[in-house]
Amino acid sequence: MTGWHATQAHLRAVAAGFGLLLLGVVVGRVDLVVLATPFVLMALAGRVSRPARPPRLVAPAGSLAVHEGEEFAWRATVDDLPPGAVVAALHPAQRWLEVTPEAGLVVAARDGTATVDIGLCATRWGRRTLGAPAVVSYDAWGAWRWVADRPPRIGLTVLPTTEKFDAGAPAPHPQGLVGMERAGRPGEGTEFAEVRPFVPGDRLRRIHWPTSARTGSLHVTATHADEDAHVVLLVDVVNDVGSSGGLTGARSSMDVTVRAAAVLAEHFLRRGDRVGMRVFGDWRVSFVPSASGRLQLRRILDTLALVEPGTARGEDALAARQGLGAGTLALLLSPLIEPASTQQVAMLTSAGIDVVVVDTLPAELVAAGDTDGSANQLLAWRLRMLQRRLESDRMSSLGIPVVPWAGPHTIDRVLRDLTRRAATPRMARR
Amino acid sequence: MSALLVRDREGHRIGTLSAGRVARWLTIVGSCAMVAAQVLAVDRAGPRWPALLLVLLAVASANLPDGGVPLATIGFAAGWWLVAVPSPAAGPATVVALALLVFHVATTHAATGPAGRDVAGRVVLAALGRTAAVGLGTLAVGLGAATTTGRVDVPALVLALALAAVAALAVATTRQ
């Protein structure tokens, strides 16, 4: 068994060629012999070119991690092809996956080897398995066909895109040892604090010569210490509102939540802060301990890619407080559909934790909701939106900032306000 | 090769329109139209419906190239030729044979891979080269037949040997 099978074209050439030839000889019509000639020649050529052994398909296997919108290729090589053979390949269509060329391609073999390159681009975060492409080889005359066994499927992890985020605002409570956040205490840092009289222990290069010359005594330039902050992302995935059209299409609330979490995580980790994450509403992933560095970013992105919204409900509101202490900056990313998220915010605030609520419900959904729903569903949605606005206003009146996510710089102003507020005394329940 | 993808409202692909696909479709239907034109030119008084049916079969072949429709089209064209053309010398058999060759190669090419796919230029050029070689062989046989028709008397033994050779070749080419 070589695995090569006759195509319809070869059977057609044989049937038409020899049938017409036979008929021409029987009825004595030489014109039928002429009509039969091209088919007979094609049939004979096909017979002669029949491949003796099956080709070998080498296709990628394993798993792959890419970012949303990142292009990558599925490349397979078919060896041991007969001279003049062609290879056709088609990658199955899949949701949130752009395939180029979408309708497949046919390539010619060179020296018995054909390489198939299919461009792929994942348009939504998540973990999924790619469909197995179909690969078929034909001999030079299209008379014989070899269908490859389906190549192994590739596990694909699509990490959420990390849009460039360059907020200049510092975190309100830097408490660590090293980092880029401006601390409240003076120390060796880069941000100017004041010009003060020289005391033993000050470095000579800190001396501020203009002031020293004017006053007659040595003065030095004092700076704020640089420290890192503890930031925790609280990701509410209890509900996914709206339908996702991928990176360039419509946004669901989960799209906004996950991408915003990725952007914020990258921003604070790049500044040297410690970032942790807690996910509510997913039974598989719940907690990423705080750490810093690029590995932590990958850990958070991997966790975000795993998120399946709405697979766990009724979690204890106290869970949000685990591992958080006063001085932690908590960023709650939520579409604010579930009332439990409001309770969590209240609990964290009463514990002295700075909470910034990032509203991740897309603006277009707030206005229109699910337009395909019935009149009752639309009415219910409007009522829920009114309740949601009330809850949001109540949080704002309690001093809890609620900002709709609008890309980078969304929380810039809020962080500055929190930093200023951190300098003022206030009461907190411990 | 760029292609125009036709999608439904939900974005699912329902068709592909590419230059290569249009060219293949025109070649398949055009070659059958050529056969119909040649037969009608010989049989001016004959019915016109076989020509229409042949073109319809060609259209069906263009849409279903990897099936039995192309064989039915060839069979119908040959049968019509046999009925409409009274004698071997009366019609342009070589032209019809070449048109049927083009039809066969175009349907074979269309059946290679999914519809609307991108085809490398080398694949098309190689197919054209092979078609030209077979076309030259057909032309030679056609010219030979035209020059010998009515001049050579074939004995019964040669006919029997020819039949046996045809049968043997048919068996040899289809054996798996």
pLDDT in tens, A97-122: 889 888 888 999 999 999 999 999 99
A88 contacts B148? CB cut-off 8 A: no
A107 contacts in B (CB within 8 Å)? Answer: 120, 123
Assess contact for B31 and B106: CB atoms under 8 A. yes
| pLDDT at residue A165 is higher than 60 | no
Which of B21, B77, B26, B175 lies closest to A36, judged by CA?
B77
Confidence of residue A131 (pLDDT cuts 50, 70, 90): confident
CA–chain centroid gap for B66, Å, is: 14
Within 8 A by CB and 6+ apart from A82, the residues are A49, A51, A112, A139, A140
Q: Determine contact: B106 vs chain A, CB below 8 A.
A: no
Percent of chain A with pLDDT over 70: 85
A42 contacts B104? CB cut-off 8 A: yes
B130 contacts A16? CB cut-off 8 A: no
Q: Which of A29, A89, A108 sits opposite B123 (nearest CB)?
A: A108
Within 8 A by CB and 6+ apart from A21, the residues are A32, A33, A36, A40, B166
Distance CA A184, CA A225 (A): 7
Tokens for B132, please give them.
């030209």
Mean pLDDT of A247-273: 88
Confidence of residue A421 (pLDDT cuts 50, 70, 90): low
The pTM for the full model equals 0.76
List b or e across A56-83, with b for residues whose CB sees 16 or more CB atoms inside 10 angstroms.
ebebeeeeebebbeeebebebebebbbe
- The greatest distance separating any two alpha carbons of chain B, rounded to the nearest whole angstrom, comes to 69
From B40's Cα to the closest Cα of chain A, the distance in A is: 16
Q: Which of A11, A44, A106 sits opposite B169 (nearest CB)?
A: A44
Q: Could you report the per-residue pLDDT of B102-132, keeping only the tens digit for each? A: 999 999 999 988 877 878 888 889 999 999 9
Q: What is the ipTM for the molecules in this complex?
A: 0.89
A64, amino acid identity: L
Q: Which of A35, A40, A47 sits opposite B93 (nearest CB)?
A: A35
Mean pLDDT of A314-334: 73
Chain B, 42-81: which have a CB under 8 Å from a chain A CB?
66-68, 70-71, 74-75, 78, 81
Reported as type and span, the H/E element at residue A330 is: strand A329-334
Is residue A213 classed exposed, middle or buried when 0-12, 13-18 and 19+ CB atoms within 10 A define those classes?
Answer: exposed
Reported as type and span, the H/E element at residue A79 is: strand A71-79
Chain B, 135-164: which have a CB under 8 Å from a chain A CB?
135, 137-138, 141-142, 145, 148-149, 159, 162-163
Q: Which of B13, B18, B68 sits opposite A93 (nearest CB)?
A: B13
Torsion angle in degrees (nearest 10) through CA of A208, A209, A212, A215 = -110
Tokens for B55, please give them.
């073109």
